[in-house]
Each structure stands twice: as C-alpha cells, then as structure tokens.
DNA sequence: CCCGCAATTATTCAAGTGTATAATAACTTC
DNA sequence: GAAGTTATTATACACTTGAATAATTGCGGG
C-alpha cells in the first residue's frame, strides 16, 4: 500500500532539523537583502522564500535583528572562506598572485555580494555586535594579505620593516576593495578578467614585484 | 508696537520659497539616510527634521521616491564639487597630489558619506535613473583623475598610450575608493593623515611618480 | 483693507511591519 | 499503537508606513 517513495502527502508540513531550518532562513534573508535591500527583507518574505510560515522565524531567532546578525556573519564567513582557499601552494609570489586574482573574479566580485555588503553597512555602524564581525573580517583579510606580501618580498630577496609591511597590506587591500566595489556596482563597465588584470598590475606596482597570472598548462 | 525683529508668532507657520523648502527636505533626507539607513528615512521623520508637516513632502515631490532621487543627485554633486575644487593650480604633479590628498581626508572621508553611499546602492542597482546618476559621477571622477595622471606623466617626460592611461586611472580610482570606504567604515582604524599618506604612496607607485605632499610654508 | 490663492497643516486610510499567543499535527518514545 | 513533545502553522494585535483628502492660514495684489 504505502510506497515510501511516493508521499501521499496529506501531511501539511515536515519537521526538519534545526540546522536545516536556520540555514534556510539565513539564506533566504541574504537573498532578499541582496535583491531588495534591508527594507525588502521582511519576516513574511523571508519565511515565504524559506518555505515556512512567518511564525517559525521567532522559533529559531529571538528577533528579526538576531536573524540579520546571523545572516551577516554567515555572509562574511563565506566570503573569507572562499578567498582564503584560493592561494594554492606554490611559491610565495604565486600565492599572492592567486589570492589577488581570485579576489577580483566571480564569485567574489558579484553585484549581489556588494549589494549585501552595502545593505549591512548601516547596521554595522550602529550595532556593536555587527561592528565586531566587520572588524574581524577586515583584519583577517588584511593580515592574510600582509603575510603573503611579506613572504613574497622575502622570496625575492627584499626585507621589509613591520610597519612598512602593514602599510603595504592596507594599500593593497584598498585596491582590491575598490576594484571589488566597482566591479559589483557597475557590472557592465569592466570586461571579464579586466579587474583581475588591473589588480595584479596595481598590487605588483605597490609592493614592487611584477605579478603575472600565467595560464597553468601541462 | 510691532518690533519686526521679535516675532510675536501667533503665526502657525511661515511661507518659504520653493527652493528653500526643497533643499531643507533634501538635506533632512540625507541626514536621516546617513544616520539610520534608508529604512529610517520615513516621511514623518524627514518632515520633522525639516520643520514641516509630512504632507508638505508631497507638495514638493510627487512621491517619496522622487525626493530620494533628488537627494542622491544632490549628494553626488556635492562630493564631486568638493573634490574637483581641490587640485589647485600648480604643476601637474602637484595637482594630482592635491587631488589624491583631498579625496582621502575629511570631509570626503567621513562615515556619514560612506553610509549614505551604501544606503543608496540598492536603489542604484534597480532604478535606471539613479543608475545614470551613479555612472555619471563615477565617470566624471575617473576622467578627471585620468587627465591629471596623463598631465603628470607628460610633465615628467613620459608618454602613455590612451588605453594604458585609462587602466591607470581605473587602478588609482580603485585605491582611492577602497581607502575612502575603509576610512568611512572603520573610522577609528586609521590615524589622521594615514589614509592620505597611503593613498599618495600607492598612486605614486602605480603611475611611477613619487608623490609627496609638502607642507606649504612660504 | 480684504480677497483669493496657494503653501501648509490636520486628519484619515489602507496596506504592511514585527511580535505575541493559541491551535495543530508530525515525529519520538515507551 | 497511544501519549507526549515540540516544530510548525494559524490568527490576532499594536504600530508604522506612504499616500490621499480636507481644513486652515499666511501673504501678495487689487
């Protein structure tokens, strides 16, 4: 009688794990903020997109505020995880090259990602908890960049003072951020690979090491 | 009897010129978006801050949307006007120096200005009219930068192809934007003048002309 | 001086907001 | 396979939102 594959489905809903539901709600929130701004991310829209009713949001998050915070943290972790994995494990110079290159291509460069970031910015400036997350992400990214720069300089036989290294990291980070921003805000203004090319040239000029992304072949 | 300086003020309101009211409403809107995000800029709050009642908004703007567009245009014009005036009229190199320097100091670098920009971004990505304004401002800024770079290179005896010049302008613009962004988003992370210093070093490295802001002192 | 117009206020409206509470039903456990 | 837990839905509430309309009132022209 009961074929377990075919649900007769007079069931009106299914119970899912807490993790599954939390993630679904967070992803729906991110989608909506990127698409319509914080304003468009209402509890009802979020619930609809996560295929639940709005009451469930407050079952998993004590307020919408908390959901937004969780969504922000998730977004930032995703971004950093994606870039951190991109360096590979060749020479220091090639690691730096790969890192810059990956930071300036999809999926990092993406209108939705920039829209998301912008949508959160106001909350970041007011909510201390979100400020902490922001600061954390920024430092993580910049420190990683600084490590790569120092290693690359060392590899090419140049020493650099700690304070100078930090300044270089700030500058390179700024180029990357600026290009990332413009690529996301004006998606049609740049051809594919153009941002990455400009980024490599600029970072190369700033640290004094020509960076070229060779097409790895054979 | 009636001292014209002292208003006895049983008058319940005063009539002002259309220009005065429009500007007051626009400034109130910008204030609120910077402070609380687009979300916080409600017709009632805007009206309160402009010292009028909410109905007046629709007397001057056919919708809130239109008011926000006008506010965006006003903000962008203010930003470009402030930077364009900063180059001065010395040598080409010093003009470039001044431009970069001014772009990375208050009042251009300012948490409110960044918050404002971010608050508008979502609308920019959806509303064609706001997109046009955005594109226009970006191009204006970048073209100005390109002109300064080409002149500076020419002055120091180097020629540069048109396409190369454009790439340099994009890169320098990105450094400036990135530093502007970070200075506004993390106001306490940088000491006074640090952003400008890093900006001058980076732009100098990218275009190949050391830029130093000498303290002008007869 | 007062008349009329338009700038401004006062009030109302329907739709949408986040939150709270009560009712249901899917899964677990014995 | 019945009872109990609790994830989930359903409904309600108080409040805010942008917009629309009606009622004032300042002020310039005759």
Instruction: State residue A191's pLDDT score.
Output: 93
Which nucleotides of strand D lie within 7 A of protein CB? 7-11, 16-22, 24-27
Look at residue B216 in the predicted model and tell me its pLDDT.
53
Q: Is the C-beta of residue B17 closer than 7 Å to nucleic acid chain D?
A: no
CA–CA gap between residue B21 and residue B52 (Å, rounded): 9
Confidence band (pLDDT; 50, 70, 90) for B213? confident
Residue B88 pLDDT: 85
**Min Cα–Cα distance to chain A from B88, Å:** 25
Write the Ramachandran bin of B193: left for phi over 0, alpha for psi from -120 to 50, otherwise beta.
left
Distance between the alpha carbon (CA) of A66 and the C1' atom of C15, Å: 26
Domains and CATH numbers, chain A: 16-61 (1.10.10.60), 65-207 (1.10.357.10)
Identify the residue with better confidence: B68 or B217. Answer: B68
Task: Give yes or no for residue B39 having a pLDDT over 80.
Answer: yes
- pLDDT exceeds 70 at position A97: yes
CB-strand contact B9/C, under 7 Å: no
B153 in contact with A, Cβ within 8 Å: no
d(CA B41, CA B43): 7
The 10 Å CB-count burial string (b at 16+, else e) for A57-94 is beebbeeeeebbbbbbbbbbeebbeebeebbeeeebbb
Cβ of A63 near strand C (under 7 Å)? The reply is yes
Residue-wise pLDDT tens digits, A45-80: 999 999 999 999 999 999 999 999 999 999 999 998
Of B209, B208, B30, nearest in space to B115 by CA: B30
The tens digit of pLDDT for each residue in A26-42 reads 999 999 999 998 999 99
Q: Are B101 and B213 in contact (CB under 8 A)?
A: yes
Contact B201 A36 (CB under 8 A): no
| B134 in contact with chain A, both atoms CB, cutoff 8 A | yes
Please report the sign of the dihedral spanned by the C-alpha atoms of residue A158, residue A164, residue A170, residue A174. negative
Confidence of residue A84 (pLDDT cuts 50, 70, 90): confident
B 12-31 residues, CB < 7 A, strand C: 12-16, 18, 21
Quickly give A21 CA vs D4 C1' distance in Å: 23
The predicted structure's pLDDT at residue A87: 87
The answer to whether B194 CB is within 7 Å of strand D is no
Task: Give the residue among B97, B119, B123 at the shortest CA–CA distance from B185.
Answer: B119
Cβ-contact B182, A180 below 8 angstroms: no
CA distance B56 to B93: 50
Per-residue pLDDT reduced to its tens digit, A170-216: 999 999 999 999 999 999 999 999 999 999 999 999 999 999 987 65
Banded model confidence at residue A1, pLDDT cuts 50, 70, 90:
very low
With CA atoms as reference, report the closest residue to B169 among B181, B177, B180. B177
> What mean pLDDT comes out for the span B83-102?
93
Asked if A14 CB < 7 A from strand D, the reply is: yes
Give the relative orientation of helices A194-207 and B162-185 as an angle to the nearest 10 degrees: 80
Q: What is the pLDDT of residues A103-146, one digit of tens each?
A: 999 999 999 999 999 999 989 998 899 999 999 999 999 999 99
pLDDT of residue A8: 52
């Amino acid at each position: 009688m009961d074929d377990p594959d075919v649900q007769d489905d007079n069931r009106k809903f299914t119970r899912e794990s807490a993790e599954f539901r939390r993630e679904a709600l967070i992803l729906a929130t991110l989608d909506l903020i990127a698409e319509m701004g914080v304003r468009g991310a209402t509890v009802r829209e979020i619930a609809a997109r996560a295929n639940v009713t709005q009451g469930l949001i407050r079952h998993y998050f004590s307020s919408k505020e908390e959901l937004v915070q969780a969504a922000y943290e998730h977004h930032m972790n995703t971004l950093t995880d994606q870039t951190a994995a991109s360096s590979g494990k060749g020479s220091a110079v090639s690691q730096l090259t790969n890192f810059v290159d990956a930071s300036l291509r999809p999926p990092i460069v993406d209108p939705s990602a920039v829209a998301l970031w912008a949508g959160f910015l106001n909350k970041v400036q007011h909510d201390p908890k979100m400020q902490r997350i922001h600061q954390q992400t920024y430092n993580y990214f910049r420190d990683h960049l600084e490590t790569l720069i120092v290693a690359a300089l060392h590899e090419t036989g140049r020493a650099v003072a700690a304070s100078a290294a930090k300044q270089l990291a700030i500058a390179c980070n700024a180029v990357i951020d600026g290009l990332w921003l413009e690529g996301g805000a004006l998606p049609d203004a740049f051809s594919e690979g153009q941002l990455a090319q400009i980024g490599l040239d600029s970072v190369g000029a700033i640290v004094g090491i020509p960076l070229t992304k060779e097409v790895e072949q054979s």
